[in-house]
Chains A and B, each alone.
Chain A
Amino acid sequence: MKPFTFERATSGADAAAAAERHPGAKFVAGGTNLLDLMKLEIETPTHLIDVNSLGLDKIEKTPEGGLRIGALVRNTELAADENVRRDYGVLSQALVAGASGQLRNMATTAGNLLQRTRCPYFYDTNQPCNKRNPGTGCGAIGGYSRQHAVIGVSDACIATHPSDMAVAMRVLDATVETIRPDGSQRKIPIAEFHRLPGDKPHIDTVLMAGELITAVTLPKPIGGRQIYRKVRDRASFAFALVSVAAIVQRDGSGRVALGGVAHKPWRIEAAEAEMPNGAKAVVARLLAGAKPTNENAFKIKLVERALASVLAEAKGA
């Protein structure tokens, strides 16, 4: 771990401004991802700004009938929230499918969105990785890529975004609210929040330097049967091979987003027109143009079958 300085911010604007004053600074929330990466010197911030005392830890109803989730709300708390469980079941299920009880007690809403990939070449600093060390190449391409992305990949990177929560946020059309060092605020639709790797895989999201997430808002509930289905090699405490977040309405229409297949939560709204025609039809559109590796080609069929399972379950209820 490289030496760093530390401060505790007291307001959002204060935190963002502090970030601007210290180039190379990072916010720290639960620390469950950032601190691990610092120990491995994959992240090397020179300054840490603790955002745990900003008062951003509340869940409130919005005037539009939605929910505003503070950036510092812990995953455990969010999953257990009465309104979330009733109106946004897919989010609650996604959260409890992630990590472990101990980690969820620490992990925050903003931190979860910003967690970095679990690509093993990214984690091993002896290996080439364009995301960790731009220009060094991609270890995973041609290597061990069973967990990696099958769509939206580039020649520079085939990593996935590992979050479960973000997939549910994507299917719920969430909006990320931020504050910038100059004090201005903006709202970023979740669809635009995470990037595809392209030729700059070291940049995960559209956040600018020093930009702080203050909240994530969910629009008014849309009802429907909400299911989060995570598929993995063991029953718990593992990242998704693939995951499906779905909202299925009585008439068979609905929405679907995928985890474990791309550099961001994967959703193609146009594919959802096929929902009444079944999983095969949806996935044909949703994963059109997929470029899997030999090791992860099974994910395409797995998505199709996991979605079929979700649709069957939705129908059954």
Chain B
Amino acid sequence: MKFDKPATDNPIDQLKVVGKPVDRVDGRLKTTGTAPYAYERHDVVPNQAYGYIVGSAISKGRIVSMDLTAAKAAPGVLAIVTAKNAGKLGKGNFNTAPLLGGPEISHYHQAIGVVVAETFEQARAAANLVRVEYKRTKGAFDLEAMKDKAEPAKSIAGGGTSDSKVGDFAKGFANAPVQFDATYRTAYESHCMMEPHATIASWQDDQLTFWTSNQMIAWAVGDMAETLGIPKEKVRAISPFIGGGFGGKLFLRADALMAALGARAARRPVKVTLQRALMPNNTTHRAATIQRVRIGATKDGKITAIAHESWSGDQPGGKPETAAMQTRSLYAGADRMTAHRLAVLDLPEANAMRAPGEAPGLAVLEIVMDEMAEKLGMDPIEFRILNDTQVVPDNPSKPQSSDPQSKKPEQQTKHIPHPPFSKRQLVECLRLGAKRFGWEKRNPQPAKVRDGKWLVGIGVAAAFRDNLLTKSAARVRLDKRGVVTVETDMTDIGTGSYTIIAQTAAEMMGVPLDKVVVRLGDSSFPVSCGSGGQWGGNNSTAGVYSACVKLRQAVEEKLGLEAGQGVFADGHVRSGSRNVSLAEAAGDQGLVAEDFIEYGDLDKQFHQSTFGAHFVEVAVDSFTGETRVRRMLAVCACGRILNPKTARSQVIGAMTMGVGAALMEELAVDKRIGYFVNHDLATYEVPVHADLPPQEVIFLDETDPISSPMKAKGVAELGICGVAAAVANAIYNATGIRVRNYPITLDKLIDRLPEPA
């Protein structure tokens, strides 16, 4: 179905099942440990051997020689694959550096081989016997040092332009009575999902099947085929359960490729999990940024000029962190510019992590708004509200993009320089949040509120993240028991896809939830949007909606009912005097329908975004500078909430990640050697339960008919956007100390805290 006109009333609007906070339909499997995750698929093929990945010990240079003698002779070893015997390999569309290195090495812990053995322990022991002689070459590992050599980014994730310009920023800024100009830094971060990348690969003749943990099944299949140089049709990926991804599993990674190569060499199914300590350097991470923001305003707080520039680095051929993007849409102002500069670095490959661009971008922009409000003597909420805009102030026309992550080349629609937002309730989020959080009790004077030894403060930040529309297909079956089965290669990475898809099908077909079976994550199913960029919920359910519309038609047709007149409810279809059970309608053969949602140019006519406001209260230990978050509230306006329970889980998880980014998460670079040193969970700290207070989430009652027939939008990434800045602003309010360099660890506060009595 093509969605090119705003949605009108449809069966989803009944909200009998959709919109209800139902428990996860896969909850029992998860809580009983019976959900089949990739590495535990002992059932799928017999005789699985174990692969262990050898990671490069250097960051840049080449392998001079590899001595495999001892490793080959070690007990249980079946095969060893390195670049030397892997055969010719291509590189996936979504990979920047090759997944298998050698002789050239692109980054630390790049896979240089896999050792396959009868047991995991044997594979690991043998891997340690591989002797490698390297020749190091000099690399660039320091963004700060490379900043001035950074260039305009040629390619932007999702397509789009590196730079944008409206009016004359330099002039507007120079003429502004109140000016602000500061530079900030955000850190390298690691996804650190619970389940490491893992794959079991099995060949049957020239047909490869791999059970894996991946957010984007079709991308994984495509890049596996591309890398191995075999047709896509010969590759099947299965990934029904995923223990978290956060963008770290958007792409084919070394676990999958090395399992496939290992299985081919050993002539046996092979399973590989990426060692936890390899994950930060072997896989992707969120790039660090340097960001400069300038704002010019009138004395009464109207922004007249705004500029946001961001510098980040990546491997040769990589992409920038798009940290300045949201500044094109968030606040008004006539004279403006944004720019992304990309430095070539030899650190591991940077790529998307939850809310790429906006997460670090708002971490900065929303401190700037706080600083500017203070400079203007304004309340930071009022300052934001005053500069709200209902149209996009800066919407550069997109070039045709060869980027596989971007949508198909645009249709010939006229470029609209200032499209209206389909729905924008930022002001409502800020106002309601302020009321609920008790903003009026905030002392605008920093460092004035004490609770014993604690310095207490509250902070706010706006949340913003675009809503992305992409094609998504599904197949729906109705059987003679009246059971509706949905099949789509959509993934559930812990987000709740199973549940909202089941709710969608139940609503559409008029059956209770327990009459719906959802099957996900298999490349033999129709291609969905996959999970990423907070596009999964809206697009995948819209695809299921489309397929269900077709199935309803098939039912009507089969029963000879007038098209579109059937009322689907209580497991029956009614039309006029006829009332037939769906089981009967399906009959012995059953009925099948398949369709997809695809989009017209509504997202060009209207800009689609999600909005929110984050409120945070912190207490800072006046002696040690330790920050403890005391309260958090997020108010979100992001279309129809398909399931308030799973949506809330997404938002509080994202808020937790935002606290991590604000207070502790940082991959530390050893600039001499060129790698992330703290590459395990003991040394890369993410928040633990004790770091989080009770978190509150409010969803505004909103539907967005421009978005899809579901009238829903993304929510999972909105939840992290702005959180770090809200924490930073709360720390400032508590202590009077402005830290412009994330994470805000105690060493950045301690010199400026009041002397202990």
Q: B155 at the A/B interface (Cβ < 8 Å)? A: no
Contact A305 B750 (CB under 8 A): yes
Q: A237 at the A/B interface (Cβ < 8 Å)? A: yes
Contact A234 B687 (CB under 8 A): yes
20 contacts between A and B (CB under 8 A): A2-B125, A3-B125, A120-B678, A124-B277, A124-B679, A139-B673, A143-B672, A146-B668, A146-B747, A234-B663, A234-B685, A234-B688, A239-B682, A241-B746, A302-B625, A302-B750, A305-B625, A305-B753, A309-B756, A312-B453
A143, B628: Cα distance in complex, Å? 29
* Contact pattern, A 1-12, Cβ under 8 Å of B = 1, otherwise 0: 111000000000
B670 to A, closest residue via Cβ: A143
Contact B685 A238 (CB under 8 A): yes
A236, B685: Cα distance in complex, Å? 10
* Contact pattern, A 26-61, Cβ under 8 Å of B = 1, otherwise 0: 000000000000010100000000000000000000
Q: A235 at the A/B interface (Cβ < 8 Å)? A: yes
Minimum CB–CB distance for B673 against chain A, Å: 7
Contact B628 A309 (CB under 8 A): no
A39, B683: Cα distance in complex, Å? 18
A305, B672: Cα distance in complex, Å? 33
Q: B664 at the A/B interface (Cβ < 8 Å)? A: yes
A296 to B, closest residue via Cβ: B747
* Contact pattern, B 444-476, Cβ under 8 Å of A = 1, otherwise 0: 000000000100000000000000000000000
Contact A120 B683 (CB under 8 A): yes
A100 to B, closest residue via Cβ: B688
For window 659-698 of B, CB contacts with A under 8 Å fall at: 663-664, 668-670, 672-673, 677-680, 682-683, 685, 687-691
Contact A312 B756 (CB under 8 A): yes
For window 72-127 of B, CB contacts with A under 8 Å fall at: 121, 124-125
4 smallest A-B Cβ distances: which pairs? A309-B623, A126-B57, A235-B690, A298-B747
Q: Which of A144, A237, A241, A301 has the most CB of B within 10 A?
A: A144
Q: A142 at the A/B interface (Cβ < 8 Å)? A: yes
Q: A118 at the A/B interface (Cβ < 8 Å)? A: yes
Contact B685 A233 (CB under 8 A): yes
* Contact pattern, A 226-249, Cβ under 8 Å of B = 1, otherwise 0: 000001111111110100000000
Which residue of B125, B669, B753 contacts A1 across the interface (Cβ within 8 Å)? B125
Minimum CB–CB distance for B390 against chain A, Å: 41
Contact A142 B672 (CB under 8 A): yes
Q: Write out the residue numbers on chain B whose beta carbons fall within 8 Å of the beta carbon of A121.
A: 677
For window 239-271 of A, CB contacts with B under 8 Å fall at: 239, 241
Q: B626 at the A/B interface (Cβ < 8 Å)? A: yes
* Contact pattern, A 296-312, Cβ under 8 Å of B = 1, otherwise 0: 00100110011011001
Which residue of A127, A235, A298, A312 contacts B673 across the interface (Cβ within 8 Å)? A127
Contact B756 A279 (CB under 8 A): yes
Chain B positions within 8 Å of A, measured between CB atoms, are 57-58, 121, 124-125, 128, 277, 453, 621, 623-626, 628, 663-664, 668-670, 672-673, 677-680, 682-683, 685, 687-691, 745-747, 750-751, 753, 756-757
Contact B745 A301 (CB under 8 A): no
Contact B668 A144 (CB under 8 A): yes
Contact A118 B682 (CB under 8 A): yes
Which residue of A120, A139, A237 contacts B688 across the interface (Cβ within 8 Å)? A237
Minimum CB–CB distance for B701 against chain A, Å: 35
A235, B277: Cα distance in complex, Å? 23
* Contact pattern, A 104-127, Cβ under 8 Å of B = 1, otherwise 0: 000000000000001011011011
Chain A residues within 8 Å of chain B by Cβ, number:
37
A142, B57: Cα distance in complex, Å? 19
Q: Which of B124, B677, B678, B745 has the most CB of A within 10 A?
A: B677
Q: Write out the residue numbers on chain A whose beta carbons fall within 8 Å of the beta carbon of B623.
A: 305-306, 308-309, 312
Contact B680 A39 (CB under 8 A): no
Contact A144 B128 (CB under 8 A): no
Contacts A234-B664, A305-B750 hold; do A1 and B690 have CB atoms under 8 A apart? no
Q: A124-B679, A143-B670, A306-B624 are in contact. List 11 more A-B contacts (CB 8 A).
A: A118-B682, A120-B683, A126-B57, A144-B678, A231-B626, A234-B688, A237-B690, A279-B756, A298-B751, A302-B624, A305-B750
Contact B680 A123 (CB under 8 A): yes
Contact B756 A120 (CB under 8 A): no
Chain A positions within 8 Å of B, measured between CB atoms, are 1-3, 39, 41, 118, 120-121, 123-124, 126-127, 139, 142-144, 146-147, 231-239, 241, 279, 298, 301-302, 305-306, 308-309, 312
A301, B680: Cα distance in complex, Å? 28
Which residue of A126, A142, A301 contacts B751 across the interface (Cβ within 8 Å)? A301
Minimum CB–CB distance for A4 against chain B, Å: 11
A120, B628: Cα distance in complex, Å? 26
Contact A143 B677 (CB under 8 A): yes
Q: Write out the residue numbers on chain A whose beta carbons fall within 8 Å of the beta carbon of B625.
A: 302, 305
Contact B124 A39 (CB under 8 A): yes
Q: Write out the residue numbers on chain B whose beta carbons fall within 8 Å of the beta carbon of A301.
A: 750-751
A11, B245: Cα distance in complex, Å? 50
Contact B624 A305 (CB under 8 A): yes
Q: Write out the residue numbers on chain B whose beta carbons fall within 8 Å of the beta carbon of A118.
A: 682-683
Minimum CB–CB distance for A164 against chain B, Å: 15
B689 to A, closest residue via Cβ: A236
Q: Write out the residue numbers on chain A whose beta carbons fall within 8 Å of the beta carbon of B746.
A: 231, 233, 241, 298, 302
Minimum CB–CB distance for B107 against chain A, Å: 13
Contacts A120-B677, A279-B756, A309-B453 hold; do A234 and B621 have CB atoms under 8 A apart? no
Q: Write out the residue numbers on chain B whose beta carbons fall within 8 Å of the beta carbon of A143.
A: 670, 672-673, 677
Q: Which of B124, B683, B688, B689 has the most CB of A within 10 A?
A: B683
Q: Write out the residue numbers on chain A whose beta carbons fall within 8 Å of the beta carbon of B690.
A: 234-237
A310 to B, closest residue via Cβ: B623
Minimum CB–CB distance for A141 against chain B, Å: 11
Which residue of A142, A234, A306 contacts B691 across the interface (Cβ within 8 Å)? A234
Contact B628 A235 (CB under 8 A): yes
Q: Write out the residue numbers on chain A whose beta carbons fall within 8 Å of the beta carbon of B626.
A: 231-232
Q: Write out the residue numbers on chain B whose beta carbons fall within 8 Å of the beta carbon of A146.
A: 668, 747
Contact A233 B745 (CB under 8 A): yes
Q: Write out the residue numbers on chain A whose beta carbons fall within 8 Å of the beta carbon of B57.
A: 126
B453 to A, closest residue via Cβ: A309
Q: Write out the residue numbers on chain B whose beta carbons fall within 8 Å of the beta carbon of A308.
A: 623, 756
Q: Write out the residue numbers on chain B whose beta carbons fall within 8 Å of the beta carbon of A241.
A: 746
A123, B680: Cα distance in complex, Å? 10
Minimum CB–CB distance for A212 against chain B, Å: 28
A251, B679: Cα distance in complex, Å? 47
Q: Write out the residue numbers on chain A whose beta carbons fall within 8 Å of the beta carbon of B685.
A: 233-234, 238
Minimum CB–CB distance for A38 against chain B, Å: 11
Minimum CB–CB distance for A39 against chain B, Å: 7
Contact A233 B756 (CB under 8 A): no
A275, B566: Cα distance in complex, Å? 85
Q: Which of A127, A234, A237, A309 has the most CB of B within 10 A?
A: A234
Which residue of A1, A39, A298 contacts B750 across the interface (Cβ within 8 Å)? A298
Q: Write out the residue numbers on chain A whose beta carbons fall within 8 Å of the beta carbon of B121.
A: 1
Minimum CB–CB distance for A13 against chain B, Å: 33
A312, B688: Cα distance in complex, Å? 28
Contacts A302-B624, A306-B623 hold; do A1 and B677 have CB atoms under 8 A apart? no
B75 to A, closest residue via Cβ: A3
A130, B677: Cα distance in complex, Å? 17
Contact A305 B683 (CB under 8 A): no
A147, B668: Cα distance in complex, Å? 12
A147, B678: Cα distance in complex, Å? 11
A239, B680: Cα distance in complex, Å? 14
A237, B684: Cα distance in complex, Å? 12
A233 to B, closest residue via Cβ: B664
A308, B669: Cα distance in complex, Å? 33
Q: Write out the residue numbers on chain B whose beta carbons fall within 8 Å of the beta carbon of A123.
A: 277, 680
Q: Write out the residue numbers on chain A whose beta carbons fall within 8 Å of the beta carbon of B679.
A: 120, 124
A302, B624: Cα distance in complex, Å? 6
